[in-house]
Amino acid sequence: MASLSHLNKLLCVPTLNSTPSVSPPRALGISTKPLPRPRLVADFARPAVRVRAVTSDDEWGPEKEEDTFGGGGVAVEEKPAETEKLKKALVDSFYGTDRGLKASSETRAEIVELITQLEAKNPNPAPTDALTLLNGKWILAYTSFAGLFPLLSRGTLPLVKVEEISQTIDSQNFTVQNSVQFAGPLATTSISTNAKFEVRSPQRVQIKFEEGIIGTPQLTDSLEIPENVEFLGQKIDLTPFKGILTSVQDTASSVVKTISSRPPLKIPISNSNAQSWLLTTYLDEDLRISRGDGGSVFVLIKEGSSLLTS
């Protein structure tokens, strides 16, 4: 008969005077790790997860925060569109400045500050890599370029006013056309320059002017004669001349078709110094800020933009 100690070894039972085994045989697959403590409801509390909600206002929508574990509805907080506010404030500051001609020093300082803030938030820091945004017709809203001030001054052009100053860019053909439209009591016309441009850096383009164009005058069928006109700082009463000017209306109407059918006058520009460069410091789908080689600033708004009616 087997001894008692031999029997204990077979059954893996420790003898009375031996130390208890730390772990049972692994062959039995028994885990010796301590059981986890019961989990309370508080253990399942999770922090609120912030997600970005997309609305139909723009590509990404205003930034919102939602509490997905709130249980009492969704709390939404919209981030203010600071850039849009700056753009609106900038356009509003142009009111009464006549594209910069009549801007006071205080208004100019305010405009410079708003431009600086917008340039710091430029969504397209490399505008020449976004040529599709540059495409189209841009209307000049403000400039500090003194070379345009004599043109804008009412005293130098009696009975004639500048209707629009624009720049049209064709990025596929690398062309630029600068145009000034005039309106008078008898006709409307335009003066333009055509140029080619080359990309020189992510922000800068070199412009070479090729020709000037004097548009065909478009005569008006009806005369709009003001009561008076300001010339060289003095008002001139036009009431005595209304009869004379009205008689001219019949003559103007008879030749309107003849003149309008003639092609515009083109003048080649062969001067090798007729070049300039332009630095675009802010660009989006409806606003552009550019700086010229003389340090002047130009703010232009895309044709059709709601900013033009602000």
- The CA R_g of the chain, rounded to the nearest whole Å, is 38
Residue whose C-alpha is closest to residue 228's, from 218, 243, 240: 240
Q: Which tokens is 10 given? A: 């077979």
Q: For residues 192 and 32, what is the distance between their CA atoms, to the nearest angstrom?
A: 91
pLDDT digits (tens, 9 = 90+) for 238-276: 777 666 666 666 666 666 566 666 788 889 988 777 888
Which pLDDT score, from 0 to 100, does residue 75 have?
Answer: 41
Measured from the Cβ of residue 131, the count of other Cβ atoms closer than 10 Å reads: 15
Is the four-CA dihedral 154, 156, 160, 163 of positive or negative sign? negative
Q: Report residue 215's pLDDT band, with 50, 70 and 90 as the boundaries.
A: confident
Q: What is the mean pLDDT of the chain?
A: 75
| pLDDT at residue 116 tops 90 | yes
Per-residue model confidence as pLDDT tens digits over 48-107: 444 444 444 444 444 444 443 444 444 444 444 899 999 999 999 999 999 999 999 999
Q: So what's the pLDDT on residue 14?
A: 44
Distance of CA 222 to the CA centre of its chain: 39
Q: Which residues pair with 189 in a beta bridge?
A: 182
Q: For residue 289, what are the CA distances in angstroms to 91, 134, 143, 206, 282?
A: 12, 11, 10, 16, 5
Q: Is the pLDDT of residue 5 over 70?
A: no
User: How confident is the model at residue 274, as a pLDDT?
Assistant: 83
Burial of 88 (0-12, 13-18, 19+ CB in 10 A): middle
> Is residue 69 classed exposed, middle or buried when 0-12, 13-18 and 19+ CB atoms within 10 A define those classes?
exposed
- Do the strands 228-231 and 218-219 form a parallel or antiparallel pair, or are they unpaired? unpaired
Could you give the 3-state DSSP secondary structure of residue 4? Answer: helix
Instruction: Find the mean pLDDT for residues 99-118.
Output: 96
Phi, psi at 47, each rounded to 5°: -65, 150
Tell me which H or E stretch contains 116: helix 105-120
Q: State yes or no: pLDDT of 10 exceeds 60.
A: no
Task: Supply the DSSP string of 260-288, one letter for each residue.
Answer: HTSPPEEEE---TT-EEEEEEEEE-SSEE
β-pair type (234-237, 187-199): unpaired
Q: Tell me which H or E stretch contains 6.
A: helix 4-10
Residue 199 pLDDT exceeds 60: yes
pLDDT 10s digits, 21-30: 444 444 433 3
Query: How do residues 301-310 score in pLDDT, each as one tens digit?
Result: 999 999 998 6
